[in-house]
Amino acid sequence: MVRTYPKDLGGIDQGRLVACVEACLSCAQTCTACADACLAEDAVSELTKCIRTNLDCADICAATVNVLSRHTGHDAELTKAVLEACGKACGTCADECERHANHHDHCRICATACRRCEQACKELLAALG
């Protein structure tokens, strides 16, 4: 889809942009599924923070995808701020899921997706300068 945009993207590294969008989409879905799986656990009360963190991360990843998918009238500073927030949300979510990863496979998988997304955001931020 990025290649079909009729104007110049302003020097944005298309490969990193696509990788970041894909990582954010994957992370949003994984975090949503992890929150749902946490709700199905017997000890759900012990997972309240994890659920909240998952849902916050999923929402921020989804918003980041939307911002990264719009190029007309691009605001570089806003894009950078959104990427920083997404990276932070992913790092926080990964930290929380890693606390439960030994007991819940869904948390282990979610932590991995969050770390991947956190890294993709950092790489795109670095490419933006």
Model confidence pTM above 0.75? yes
Residues with Cβ < 8 Å from 4, sequence gap 6 or more?
none
Report the pLDDT value the prediction gives residue 83, as an integer from 0 to 100.
96
Q: How many CA atoms lie within 13 A of 58 on its CB side?
A: 16
Asked if 90 contacts 57 with a C-beta cutoff of 8 angstroms, the reply is yes
pLDDT tens-digit map of 26-57: 999 999 999 999 999 999 999 999 999 999 99
**H or E segment and range at residue 58:** helix 48-68
Query: Mind listing the domains of the chain with CATH numbers?
Result: 11-128 (1.20.1270.360)
**H or E segment and range at residue 44:** none
- The two structure tokens encoding residue 62: 């989804």
Q: Which residue has the tokens 């806003």?
A: 78
Instruction: Average the pLDDT over 119-126 and give the result.
Output: 96
Q: How many CB atoms lie within 10 A of CB 35?
A: 22
Report the pLDDT value the prediction gives residue 6, as an integer from 0 to 100.
45
